[in-house]
Structure 1
Amino acid sequence: MRYLILQEKDGLTFVALPETHMYQLVALFKRLYKEIDKLTIEDRPQLPTVLAECADLELLGSGLAVVDGLDYVSSLEERFAALPESQYPLISLLTEIRALQAQLEFLRDEE
């Protein structure tokens, strides 16, 4: 298991993903950063800052928790799917988000 540490507007988020799929989430964020300004809507979703990726994580604060990767990707998909946009950049981004989501769902079903 790998962990991605994200700086969200309201604090840190720790996302757990299988090592085999972590690179896809990092690549997805890079693509989102690159393409978000191409959306034609004014109220674009706020993207977190990727701070670090690590193999081990020990949370010492009582208010901290690790988010399952599928749950995080699903919430990301919901945020982007709710946008009132029908242009190519959003459709392309949603396709990538949903592809990773489907892979993670498949992994969960296999376990």
Structure 2
Amino acid sequence: MHYCILSNENRIEFISMPADYMYQLVALLRRLHKEIDKLTTADRPILPVVIGECTELELHNSEYAVVSGLDYLAALERRFAALNEENYPLISLLTEIRALHAQLEYLVEEGEYA
């Protein structure tokens, strides 16, 4: 398991992902950052900044928790799906989010990701 460390509005988030899929999460977040300013809706989601990643993580502060990649992507998809965007082809971003989410769901079904 790999852990992605994100900074999101003065809050640190830790996302757990299978090691072979971490690059896809990081690439997805970079793409979303690249495209977010093209959205015309006023209620754009705030995107986290990727701080780093690691293979081992031991948290010493109960204020923080590790979020599974599956849960993180589901929440990200809900935030983007709720946007009322009329001009930018939002479906392309949603497709990328949903594709990675589907890959993780498949790993869960195969017992390769808990």
| TM-score of the aligned structures, taking structure 1 as reference length | 0.95
Match of 2:42 in 1: 42
Match of 2:70 in 1: 70
Q: Which moved more, 1:80-89 or 1:11-20?
A: 80-89
AA of the residue aligned to 1:39: L
Return the offset for 1:88.
4.3
Aligned residues: 111
Q: Which blocks of at least 5 consecutive residues in structure 2 are unaligned?
A: none
Please identify runs of 4+ aligned residues in structure 1 that moved more than 2 A: 86-89
Partner SS state of residue 38, structure 1: coil
Q: Which moved more, 1:51-60 or 1:3-12?
A: 3-12
Same amino acid, percent of matched pairs: 61
Alpha-carbon separation, structure 2, partners of 1:10 and 1:73: 20
Return the offset for 1:86.
4.2
Measured on the aligned residues, the alpha-carbon RMSD in Å equals 1.1
Alignment of 1:1-111 (within 5 A): 1-9=1-9, 11-111=11-111
Alpha-carbon separation, structure 1, partners of 2:97 and 2:11: 23
Q: Which blocks of at least 5 consecutive residues in structure 1 are unaligned?
A: none
| TM-score of the aligned structures, taking structure 2 as reference length | 0.92
